[in-house]
Structures are given as structure tokens and as C-alpha cells.
């Protein structure tokens, strides 16, 4: 009986793994058609200066409405898109769309800084620097209004190449942020060598900031590191007033999270800006990101 049960169990297991692989293959196939079928859109999450209480910019985040499955979260499809290479076209679409939106907001009197996530796979493309600069040019966006968010893992895979490209982007005036800081390899040596302006404290450390002492210490350490390397620190995933207060008094310069706003559709974003008690930070591209 035990043996029969075990067999049934493994048969069930194999069937479900098989199903999973098939679902994944299907999703990959759907992914390669999603751009053409206009299934992507961007949402924008405000970034707030804790020093001036003003909105200094927005992070653009991709959303995929799958024709049958509905909303598929980026944490599920971005890794897949990186594996099969579709991230290159998808990432270029994101950059183009974010710049188009930024240009339209600027024309309406809202010259915001836009942060775009750049995948390591995109960074590895030989023509990435030219492509990004051309996109900015096409939309007449000053480079200082663009921030690229890269992860530590993205740096490490081909450090020399990544350093060189980020240096070129940076000397053109584009800001570079290290996303999910503290979750990757976190080598202090590369931070010294990288042309980086901002560190984003990963939301996992912000979430339990005031309940878990380890997370408090990690957040404090990142803020101190930012201060000593002269990098502004952005806290992501700020969900409560208490977290905001703590981060502000601890010297963190920028915050982003549900406490201020969820990522918003462009129309809702404009309403948020209009309703926000502060104003837009002025001349963002001419100021240090504080």
C-alpha cells in the first residue's frame, strides 16, 4: 500500500512539474507577442524628498495585462523575459514610453525626474549607451531627468563592461541608482568604482524597520554608507508614518512607498501631484538628488 501511495504521489508530482513547465513555455510564448499586442503599460510611483517634502520624481513600473490570465506581476515575467531575451525590446519600450510620458508632463509644467529599471541583460547590449541617449534626444528629455536603476547582480556579471557603460551614461548626465541595495553581493569595492549617485534600500529592510532590530541596523548602515560615500539614499516600500519619521530623522533623503502612494496610472499621478501638500521640486536636473 505504501509503495502504491508513493508511486501515485510521484506520478502526481511529475504531472504537476510537467504542467508547470508547459505553463512557463506558454507564458514565454505569450511574452514574445505581448509588445506587438500592446499588452504592456506603465504605472508611476512618486518619490518624495524627506528634506523638502516635495515630489522629486517617479519610478516607472511595467504592468502586463495577459489576455487570459489578467495581470501578471513583473516579478514573474521579467526574469522570464531576461532568460529568453525579450527584455531587450520590452526594456526599450519601457524607456521610450517613460520618456514620452516625462516629455508630456514637462510640457504641462511638470518637469519630473523619471526612474527606469534597467535589466542587466539590457546593460550587456553593446549599443545600449547610444540607444538610451538617442531615446532621450528623441523626446528632448535632458539626461539629468533620467535615473537608471540597476541591481548589484547586474553589475557583477561583467564588471568592467558595466562600469564603462555606466560611466558613459553618467558623464552624459544620467543618474544611476543601485536598486534593492543590500540584497545582492554588496561589495563595497565596486561601490567605490561605480559611477553611482543613489542607493535604494530594499523594501524588505524598510518593511520591518521598527520591529526587527537587524533590519533597523541594516537600514542605518546603508544610510551611513550613503553619507560617507556622498550618495543620496532612497528608501523603497515605506508603508507607515512611523517609518517615514524614522527615516527622515536618521538622515535618509528620499522615500517611496504605499504610505505616500501606490504606483499610479498617468492620470491618477497628475491628480496626486496636484493634491500633494508640497510642490514639485524645481530644476530637478540641475540639483544634486537630495
Site for ligand C2E (CB under 6 A): which residue of 12, 13, 185, 258? Answer: 258
Q: Does 268 bind ligand C2E (CB under 6 A)?
A: no
Q: Does 180 bind Mg ion (CB under 5 A)?
A: yes
Nearer to Mg ion, 47 or 117 (CB): 117
Task: Tell me how far, at minimum, the Cβ of 1 lies from ligand C2E, in Å.
Answer: 46
Task: Tell me how far, at minimum, the Cβ of 152 lies from ligand C2E, in Å.
Answer: 12
Contact string 80-99 vs ligand C2E (x = CB under 6 A): -----------x--x-----
Task: Pick out residues in 196-215 that bind ligand C2E (CB under 6 A).
Answer: 203
Those residues with Cβ within 8 angstroms of residue 267's Cβ, 6 or more apart along the chain or in another chain:
none
Q: Does 179 bind Mg ion (CB under 5 A)?
A: yes
Q: Does 70 bind ligand C2E (CB under 6 A)?
A: no
Q: Does 75 bind ligand C2E (CB under 6 A)?
A: yes
End-to-end CA distance of the chain: 68
Please, are residues 231 and 197 in contact by the beta-carbon 8 Å criterion? yes
- Going by C-alpha positions, the residue among 111, 167, 165, 120 that lies closest to residue 139 is 111
Rounded Cα distance, 56 and 150, in Å = 19
DSSP 262-278: --B-HHHHHHHHHHSSS
Task: Pick out residues in 227-246 that bind Mg ion (CB under 5 A).
Answer: 236
Phi and psi, residue 185, nearest 5°: -75, -20
Binding segment for Mg ion among 62-70, 131-139, 173-181, 185-193 (CB under 5 A)? 173-181
Q: Which residues of 206-221 are buried (b: 16+ CB within 10 A; e: fewer)?
A: bbebeeeeebbebbbe
Site for ligand C2E (CB under 6 A): which residue of 263, 269, 272, 284? Answer: 263
Task: Tell me how far, at minimum, the Cβ of 5 lies from ligand C2E, in Å.
Answer: 40
Please, are residues 149 and 182 in contact by the beta-carbon 8 Å criterion? no
Amino acid at each position: 500500500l505504501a509503495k502504491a501511495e508513493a508511486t501515485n504521489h510521484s506520478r502526481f508530482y511529475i504531472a504537476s512539474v510537467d504542467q508547470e513547465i508547459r505553463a512557463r513555455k506558454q507564458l514565454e510564448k505569450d511574452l514574445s507577442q505581448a509588445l506587438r499586442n500592446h499588452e504592456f503599460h506603465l504605472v508611476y510611483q512618486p518619490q518624495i524628498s524627506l528634506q523638502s517634502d516635495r515630489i522629486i520624481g517617479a519610478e516607472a513600473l511595467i504592468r502586463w495585462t495577459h489576455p487570459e490570465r489578467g495581470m501578471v506581476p513583473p516579478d514573474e515575467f521579467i526574469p522570464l523575459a531576461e532568460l529568453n531575451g525579450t527584455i531587450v525590446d520590452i526594456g526599450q519600450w519601457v524607456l521610450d514610453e517613460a520618456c514620452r510620458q516625462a516629455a508630456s508632463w514637462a510640457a504641462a509644467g511638470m518637469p519630473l525626474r523619471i526612474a527606469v529599471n534597467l535589466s542587466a541583460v539590457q546593460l550587456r547590449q553593446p549599443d545600449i549607451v547610444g540607444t538610451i541617449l538617442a531615446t532621450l534626444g528623441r523626446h528632448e528629455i535632458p539626461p539629468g531627468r533620467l535615473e537608471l536603476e540597476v541591481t548589484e547582480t547586474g553589475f557583477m556579471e561583467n564588471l568592467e563592461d558595466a562600469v564603462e557603460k555606466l560611466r558613459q551614461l553618467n558623464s552624459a548626465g544620467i543618474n544611476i541608482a543601485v536598486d534593492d541595495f543590500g540584497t545582492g553581493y554588496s561589495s563595497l569595492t565596486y561601490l567605490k568604482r561605480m559611477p553611482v549617485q543613489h542607493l535604494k534600500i530594499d523594501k524588505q529592510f524598510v518593511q520591518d524597520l521598527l520591529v526587527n532590530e537587524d533590519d533597523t541596523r541594516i537600514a542605518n548602515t546603508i544610510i551611513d554608507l550613503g553619507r560617507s560615500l556622498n550618495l543620496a539614499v532612497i528608501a523603497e516600500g515605506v508603508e507607515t508614518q512611523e517609518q517615514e519619521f524614522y527615516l527622515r530623522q536618521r538622515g535618509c533623503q528620499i522615500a517611496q512607498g504605499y504610505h505616500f502612494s501606490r504606483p499610479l496610472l498617468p492620470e491618477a499621478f497628475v491628480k496626486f501631484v496636484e493634491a500633494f501638500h508640497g510642490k514639485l521640486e524645481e530644476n530637478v536636473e540641475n540639483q544634486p538628488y537630495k
